[in-house]
């Protein structure tokens, strides 16, 4: 954050505080573990995490590599940004693909849940073991779902990468206990206290580069079971009579392209995306009034106009 130069006493705003806290977490981990790594998934949370890590160690280069656990099915735009990041000076990016999944040609069209399991879950464990990483930064946030609300910032794994609920430690003040036994490892979540809105505001305020798929553009899509999928490359098996249709779409989250649903939207700017996603309760209350006035149909119409 650009702090005004020469200010006397002031208190930090919420984004500055979140930023300072995340930086503190990065530094603690680097000071107290032997071989940390950042899990880089190319999404918006990873983008923010990377930005914060650079700030934490400036002017030194990142004291740990980035690890992309690849599935070979990400969007082309994601690979483009990843390669751009990897080319930055001072960045070491490791890409790991589970060789077994590669050999078997595991893919989301034919193999269902096995795809995620082998490429991502197994791939991650293999990569961590291969390089001997003892701490891995991840971009998960507590606000993502109710059950994550009680997650710790430091989450401990035994030597088999199992989460041991009994051995999770209370976290007081900003005193993180990073002690662990041989072969045990830690997952660290520096964005724990950020909300989705914080992430977007920070990206907006700091001008952080994100994958363009987050913004609307005309893209070739097909609709399957009510989900809009983007036909991102020639591997997409079109069914008989199915033809890609150009629609103006964007994505709220990014993963493997055959598993990621698009939403139709005209939001071509960051500000417009933020607007589309937010439902202020004031609007909800007004919404009820509108509802009474014009019935459910008027509500539906408002929705289509990007009210929600």
Partner 1 sequence: MATLLKTLDAPDAASQELERWIEATQNKSLLRFITCGSVDDGKSTLIGRLLYDSKLLFEDQLSALASDSKKQGTQGEELDFALLVDGLSAEREQGITIDVAYRFFATDKRKFIVADTPGHEQYTRNMVTGASTADAAVILIDARKGILTQTRRHSFLAQLIGIRHLVLAVNKMDLVGYGQSTFDRIVAQYGEFARQAGIDEFTAIPVSGLNGDNITSRSPAMPWYGGPGLLEHLENLPVGGAGSAEPFRMAVQWVSRPSHNFRGYAGRIASGRVGVGDAIKILPAGRKTFVERIVTSDGDLDHAVAGQSITVTLTDEIDCSRGDVIVAADNQTEPVSRITASLVWMSDEKLVPHRSYWLKVGTQTVSASVDLVDSIVDVNTLAARAGEPLCLNDIGQVEIDLDRPVPAVRYRENRKLGGFILIDKMSHATVAAGLIKDLPANAVRQPSGVSAFDDIVWVTGPGRTTWAAAAVARLKAQGRQPVLIDDAAVAVFPGDDPVRTAREVALLVTSAGVPALITVQALPGETHPGRVIDSSKSEDGGDEWVI
Residue ranges in 176-205 that form contacts with partner 1 under rule CB under 8 A: 177, 179-181, 192-193, 195-198, 201, 204-205
Q: How far is the CB of 87 from partner 1 (least distance, A)?
A: 19
- In eight-state DSSP terms, residue 280 is -
* Binder of partner 1 out of 91, 117, 168, 248 (CB under 8 A): 168
Q: Is 18 in the site for partner 1 (CB under 8 A)?
A: yes
C-beta separation of 274 from 204 below 8 A: yes
* Binder of partner 1 out of 76, 121, 269, 304 (CB under 8 A): 269
C-beta separation of 66 from 91 below 8 A: yes
Closest to partner 1 by CB, 123 vs 255, is 255
Closest by CA position to 247, among listed 274, 226, 272, 223: 223
Closest by CA position to 190, among listed 30, 65, 10: 30
Closest to partner 1 by CB, 160 vs 281, is 281
Q: Which range binds partner 1 by CB under 8 A, 99-107, 209-217, 230-238, 267-275?
A: 267-275
Residues 104-143 that bind partner 1 (CB under 8 A): 142-143
Closest to partner 1 by CB, 117 vs 158, is 158
Q: Which range binds partner 1 by CB under 8 A, 37-45, 71-79, 240-248, 271-279?
A: 271-279
Q: Is 294 in the site for partner 1 (CB under 8 A)?
A: no
Rounded-to-10 torsion of CA 129, 132, 135, 141: -30
As a whole number of angstroms, the distance between CA 57 and CA 197 comes to: 25
Tokens 């109710």 appear where? 146
Residues 20-79 that bind partner 1 (CB under 8 A): 20-21, 23-24, 27-28, 30-31, 54-61
Structure tokens given for 270: 């960051």
Would you mind telling me the total number of residues written for the chain in this entry?
Answer: 308
Closest to partner 1 by CB, 181 vs 226, is 181
Question: Checking DSSP bridges between strand 185-188 and strand 135-137, what pairing results, if any?
Answer: parallel
* Binder of partner 1 out of 80, 132, 159, 174 (CB under 8 A): 174
Q: How far is the CB of 218 from partner 1 (least distance, A)?
A: 20
As a whole number of angstroms, the distance between CA 206 and CA 54 comes to: 13
User: What sign has the CA pseudo-torsion 159, 121, 211, 305?
Assistant: negative
Q: How far is the CB of 219 from partner 1 (least distance, A)?
A: 21
Q: How far is the CB of 241 from partner 1 (least distance, A)?
A: 32
Closest to partner 1 by CB, 195 vs 298, is 195
CA angle centred on 210, ends 115 and 156, rounded to 5°: 55
């Amino acid at each position: 954050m650009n702090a005004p130069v020469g200010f006397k006493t002031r208190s930090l705003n919420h984004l500055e505080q979140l930023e300072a806290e995340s930086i503190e977490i990065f530094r603690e981990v680097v000071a107290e573990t032997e071989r940390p790594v950042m899990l880089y998934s190319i999404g918006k949370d990873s983008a923010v995490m990377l930005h914060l890590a650079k700030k934490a160690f400036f002017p030194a280069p990142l004291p740990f590599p980035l690890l992309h656990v690849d599935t070979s099915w990400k969007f082309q735009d994601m690979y483009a940004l990843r390669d751009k990041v990897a080319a930055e000076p001072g960045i070491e990016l490791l890409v790991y693909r589970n060789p077994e999944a590669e050999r078997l040609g595991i893919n989301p069209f034919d193999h269902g849940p096995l795809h995620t399991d082998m490429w991502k879950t197994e791939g991650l464990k293999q990569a961590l073991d291969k390089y001997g990483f003892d701490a891995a930064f991840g971009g998960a946030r507590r606000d993502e779902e109710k059950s994550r609300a009680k997650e710790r910032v430091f989450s401990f794994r035994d030597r088999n990468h199992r989460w041991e609920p009994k051995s999770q430690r209370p976290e007081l003040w900003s005193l993180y206990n990073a002690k662990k036994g041989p072969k045990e490892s830690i997952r660290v979540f520096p964005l724990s206290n950020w909300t989705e809105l914080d992430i977007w505001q920070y990206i907006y305020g700091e001008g952080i580069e994100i994958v363009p798929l987050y913004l609307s553009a005309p893209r070739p899509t097909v609709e399957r079971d009510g989900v809009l999928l983007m036909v991102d490359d020639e591997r997409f098996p079109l069914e008989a009579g199915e033809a890609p249709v150009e629609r103006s779409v964007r994505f709220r989250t990014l993963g493997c392209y055959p598993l990621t649903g698009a939403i139709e939207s005209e939001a071509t700017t960051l500000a417009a995306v933020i607007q589309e996603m937010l439902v202020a309760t004031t609007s909800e209350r007004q919404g009820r009034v509108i509802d009474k006035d014009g019935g459910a149909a008027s509500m539906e119409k408002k929705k289509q106009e990007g009210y929600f």
